[in-house]
Amino acid sequence: MSIQKPVGTQDLLPGAVEKWQYLEGKARELCRRFNYREIRTPVFELTELFQRGVGETTDIVEKEMYTFQDRGDRSLSLRPEGTAGVVRSYVENKLYGEPDISKLYYIGPMFRYERPQAGRYRQFHQFGVEAFGSEDPALDAEVIALGYTFYREIGLKDVTVEINSVGTPAVRAKYREHIQRFFAPVKDKLCKDCQSRYDRNPMRLLDCKIDQAYGEGAPTILEHLDEECAGHFEAVQAHLKAMGIPFRINPRLVRGLDYYTHTAFEYKAAGIGAIDTIGGGGRYNGLVGQIGGNDRPGVGLGLGLERILLVLEAQGVDMPAEPPLDVYVIGLGEAAERETVKLLQTLRLRGLKAERDYLGRKIKAQMKSADRLNARYVAILGDDELARGEIAVKSMATGEQETLPLAGLAEAIAAKK
């Protein structure tokens, strides 16, 4: 039997890959305007980084990581998300020593052992940004605006922004007690996961789809914010309003990663079956310190590219396809065929997309191939034309044919672009 790709992964074949290149190009261009610079970190890191960074009691670390021992007996894990690695790199390379704040972005594969379904893969791709070094709520608002602007500029419609404040660790410690008190009477009725969450990570009780009914009327964290947290949250909202970014406050929004403080947010859109979250992020003021650096605040986001493509498709948004061939070159006769090799190189050096036959096919089959490749022009060189220093050029759009000087072919085609 032939070998197939691992469950939950995808092959991005020519035809689809142009859409990826387009999205990536848009992301880079957006980051240029927002003044975020690219960072590339390893796809695997020491497992301990994610345990410390993402959180021991999160689903990601407890059951979704691809963890393995390498030949040197180190425990490594494929990165399940981008933030922890970028924080590690920020600390390791002492970027905090720079006079300005660090605004970084990344595009790349992430790995989570989840049950695959529409919009959920085991290898998926995120476009993410992380900004370090400032607690200013204007920076939270900038990050939220960046994600929203990205969705808008690629033509995604009806994206909603949901925001919440998850407070500081001190605020959360108090709030956890309220949550535990609220759920105590029904504790034994909760699902197995939630029974263990009750002690270890009670805020996640609000996030459970199975126990949704028990969570109704639960106290919200917004009711328990201290003055500083409430002020920060207010300011983020004011900035979003000023920028014209529509948002909804969702006091039950709990993210699946432990590092958030203050702002937490998600982007939602319909179109991928049961899944409606297409991106998310928030502020993480303790994370840099936890990973071993001088403590510095941070805020960032991660947008899933597969989910974006699924929603774009569901909404019928046009995506750029493979651009057509400028010219297909056909050589008739031995000398002419040899000459096409040189001619192609000249055309390509001039910036044109050019192709020829490599299967020894007859002229008719070559014309069909030119058609399949969407060629704008077919250039036909016979031994006689070659001797005269000329070449026949046919426009595939109009069927018109003309004879041009061979030496001027590249210039002539380029001029017709």
Cα gap 336→331, rounded to integer Å: 5
Among residues 36, 90, 105, 121, the one that binds ligand HAM under rule CB under 6 A: 121
Report how far residue 7's alpha carbon sits from residue 5's, in angstroms, rounded to the nearest whole number: 6
User: Which position among 19, 88, 103, 120 is part of the footprint of ligand HAM (CB under 6 A)?
Assistant: 120
Amino acid residing at 26: K
Compute the least distance from the CB of residue 324 to ligand HAM, in Å: 33
Smallest distance, ligand HAM to C-beta of residue 27, A: 14
State in angstroms the smallest separation of the CB of 211 from ligand HAM: 21
Among positions 292-351, residues that touch ligand HAM (CB under 6 A) are: 300-302, 304, 306-307
Among 133, 279, 297, 331, binds ligand HAM (CB under 6 A): 279
Q: Which of residues 61-90 bind ligand HAM (CB under 6 A)?
A: 81-83
CA distance linking residue 370 with residue 376, whole number of Å: 9
Complex with ligand HAM: residue 225 or 308, whichever CB lies closer: 308
222 or 309, CB closer to ligand HAM?
A: 309
Of 240 and 330, the one with the shorter C-beta distance to ligand HAM is 240
Pull the structure tokens for residue 44: 């695997």
- Contact indicator for 306, 121 with CB cutoff of 8 Å: yes
User: 376 pairs with which residues across the strands?
Assistant: none
Residue 162 interacts with ligand HAM (CB under 6 A): yes or no: no
From the number of C-beta atoms within 10 Å of its C-beta (0-12, 13-18, 19+), residue 67 rates as middle
Closest CA to 65 of 193, 257, 307, 281: 257
Residue nearest to ligand HAM (CB): 304
Nearer to ligand HAM (CB atom), residue 79 or residue 239 = 79
One-letter amino acid identity for 234? E
Pick the closer one to ligand HAM by CB: 55 or 82.
Answer: 82
Dump the DSSP string for 324-387. PPSEEEEEESHHHHHHHHHHHHHHHHTT--EEE-SS---HHHHHHHHHHTT-SEEEEEEHHHHH
Count residues contacting ligand HAM (CB under 6 A)?
26
> Where do contacts with ligand HAM occur on this chain (CB under 6 A)?
81-83, 112, 114, 119-121, 124, 126, 128, 130, 256-257, 277-282, 300-302, 304, 306-307
